[in-house]
Chain A
Amino acid sequence: MKKILMTFSGVFLLILVLLGLQWGLSASRNQDNSSSKDTLTFYNWGDYIDPSILKDFTKETGYKVNYQTFDSNEAMYTKIKQGGTNFDLAVPSEYMVSKLKEAGLLAKLDKSQLTGMNNLNSQFMNQSFDKGNQYSVPYFWGTLGILYNKKVVNGSDLKDWSSIWSSKYRHQLLLVDSARDVLGLTLISQGKSVNDQNAADLAAAQGKLSSLMPNVKAIVGDELKLYMAQGEGNIAVTYSGEAKNAMEKNSDLAYVVPEDGSNLWLDNLVIPKSAKHKKAAYALINYLNRPEVAAKNAEYIGYATPNQKAYQLLPKSVKSDQAFYPKQSILDKLQVYQNFNQYWTQKYNDAFLEFKLGK
């Protein structure tokens, strides 16, 4: 009994000490930002901006930036909805923009306060998830494509999505664990749209998909890039951003967007309705819209920038990289996901689940 009491008081003391430390730290931090009026809370994906840009921004405008991160659109949605913290600027993907918008969580952008919007490529503006860009400004974009190991797979064999059905890749394929993406690519390979809402088309896609199983080695999430970098699979379906990450770790890897089209994803800057420092948020959007800033950011992150003037400033090797800046003929075939209602979300997921169950 005595021993237990000793242990408990020890744990209790430790908690007290930690609480004290935390209090001390937050007190000193508050002193740093004596005028919290000028501190902007930026809610973004982890490591999704060049840190020096934020420093320069503070130097130039006087606004301090409190950078907070999330790891999934859904997590971000929940936090913004709960409203514990007042985020001033967030970076949702396209389907999440429409979801946030429908939930009434976004502030309409005041176009008169925005500058540099002309720098953006019209290709990425006025998308179905936010007509007229009333709520969002594109930040980075990318595609869904095929990541492969050059030593084993011949890139020229991957002209279209149907090529991954080839028996050459038996038990070598890694798939991203996402109903929308996997069914989407199957629909594209059948000449349909990724936003298809026709039961017969979906059934046909599911039928074709079930014959892919012998090739599938695993269906995984974020770990995919790790597995590919380690050589666990030779060919994988994944997003361009993830592919970039894996390629940095393993130079044998390459990425290609099939020529029959693909999904175009967009991450966008939005201002939540609950934002307390809108002025600062506009200032940061405008700052990020500057060509030289956007170019610097794009070089750091490695994703494709929607900022046309920034693109011109990028090194030639980056600009001509067809994997990440596909040529116009492919660009024209890219499709953005529309937000599905509950019924179709369920339909797609059920179809995908059945696919996963069929071994």
Chain B
Amino acid sequence: MNRIKKRYTEAYLGIYGLWLLAFVVAPMLLLLIQSVNVPGQGFSLSNYRDFFTSGPYLAMTVNSVWYAFLITLVTLAIAYPLALVLTTLKHRQLWLLLVILPTWINLLLKTYAFIGLLGKGGLLNQAITGMGFGPSQLLFTNGAFLLVAAYIELPFMVLPIYNALLDIDPLLPAASRDLGASRFQTLKQVIWPLSMPGVKTGVQTVFIPSLSLFMITRLIGGNKVITLGTAIEEHFLVTQNWSFGSTIGVVLIIAMALTMALTTDRKKKGGRRK
């Protein structure tokens, strides 16, 4: 009996391994090969040298990381209280559905909807004018870019935090309250540390894709915000320099791996033993 079970596990691992090999490892290897295979030069690290000695590309890298950080921060600031409130509501499944609902709509459509909202004659400006202020420039500002990016990423932050909060034994906050902690102290000392795994997952799922955003930078940011995503798009579509585009891709992957390493819960390895 046990042997059959073991065989199933092995077969499953085999299929899974093949899948990983074909769709994760192989593409990354191809990307790496492409990035060191410079047309007309053969194997060369010149792309990497060019990348790390070029002012514009370094500036873009800083931009990418900085904006991804800001987007993550804004998203977290909105998502955490939202998730907290969601867990206390009566019909949480319904409310949760409303939070997830926007992900059913195509990203591009949502972005275009924001053009209508933020535009000069848009809803938001009409409201501002209605309150007696003059219309103001909303599109093509950093604020607008952050708003739209955070809106799009929000469900991916809310979900893991919401799940982590649900997992907390309700007796723990109750005990904390019983022992004299104020609401804020309970939140800070009990709930926040216990929801940390959810927060970390949320930060990863938001920060990493935010590093290489490109459509929104053009549509909402008017290319006033330039990130590495823009550069990759340009190298693959316009200049057709796939080699350099791949180099930027590899740099981004390394940046993402670093993010993962920094935010992954290290305690987990030892924590299981208790």
Contacts and interface: CB of A to CB of B under 8 A. Distances in A.
- Is the pairing of A and B real? yes
Interface of A: 74, 171, 174, 177, 179, 217-221, 223, 226-227, 230-232, 342, 345-346, 349-350, 353-354, 356-357, 359
A219 B222 contact: yes
Nearest to B139: A232
Contact of B56 (A226, A230, A357): A357
Contact of B140 (A218, A221, A353, A356): A218
B143 interface: no
Nearest to A218: B222
B218 A221 contact: yes
A177 B218 contact: yes
A232 B238 contact: no
Given A74-B237, A353-B231, A232 B119 contact: yes
A223 B216 CA distance: 12
B56 A350 contact: yes
A349 B140 contact: no
Contacts of B119: 227, 230, 232
Nearest to A217: B140
Given A74-B237, A218-B224, A230-B119, 12 more contacts: A174-B222, A218-B222, A220-B222, A221-B218, A230-B121, A231-B120, A232-B139, A342-B39, A345-B240, A353-B234, A357-B226, A359-B224
Given A230-B120, A350-B56, A342 B240 contact: yes
Contact of B219 (A220, A349, A350): A220
B139 A218 contact: yes
A117 B20 CA distance: 57
B115 interface: yes
Given A218-B223, A220-B222, A345 B237 contact: no
Interface of B: 39, 55-56, 59-60, 115, 119-121, 137, 139-140, 218-219, 221-224, 226, 231, 234, 237-241
B120 A232 contact: yes
Nearest to A348: B239
- Among B139, B140, B237, the one with the most A-chain Cβ atoms within 10 Å of its Cβ is B140
Contacts of B55: 354
B108 to A, nearest CB: 11
A345 B120 contact: no
A227 B241 CA distance: 31
Nearest to A340: B239
B226 A353 contact: yes
Contacts of B140: 217-218
Nearest to B244: A346
15 contacts: A174-B222, A179-B238, A218-B139, A219-B218, A226-B115, A230-B121, A232-B119, A342-B39, A345-B238, A345-B240, A345-B241, A349-B234, A353-B56, A353-B231, A353-B234
Contacts of A350: 56
A232 B39 CA distance: 42
- Among A171, A218, A219, the one with the most B-chain Cβ atoms within 10 Å of its Cβ is A218
A223 B111 CA distance: 12
A112 B138 CA distance: 59
A221 B226 CA distance: 14
A174 B253 CA distance: 33
B219 A223 contact: yes
B28 to A, nearest CB: 23
Contacts of B238: 179, 345, 349
Contacts of B226: 353, 356-357
A90 B224 CA distance: 36
A350 B57 CA distance: 10
Contacts of B241: 342, 345-346
A346 B47 CA distance: 13
Contacts of B121: 230-231
B24 to A, nearest CB: 24
Nearest to B241: A346
A230 B234 CA distance: 27
A221 B111 CA distance: 14
B269 to A, nearest CB: 31
Given A356-B226, A357-B226, A220 B39 contact: no
B115 A349 contact: no
B181 to A, nearest CB: 39
A359 B224 CA distance: 7
Nearest to B215: A221
B239 A342 contact: yes
A177 B230 CA distance: 11
A278 B126 CA distance: 56
A358 to B, nearest CB: 9
B99 to A, nearest CB: 20
B81 to A, nearest CB: 31
A342 B224 CA distance: 26
Contact of B223 (A220, A231, A345, A346): A220
A243 B79 CA distance: 42
B109 to A, nearest CB: 13
Contacts of B224: 218-219, 359
CB-based closest 5 A-B pairs: A218-B222, A219-B223, A218-B140, A349-B239, A345-B239
- Among B55, B231, B239, the one with the most A-chain Cβ atoms within 10 Å of its Cβ is B239
Nearest to B116: A230
A62 B63 CA distance: 59
Nearest to A219: B223
A181 to B, nearest CB: 12
Contact of A346 (B139, B221, B239): B239
Contacts of B218: 177, 219-221, 223
A136 B121 CA distance: 44
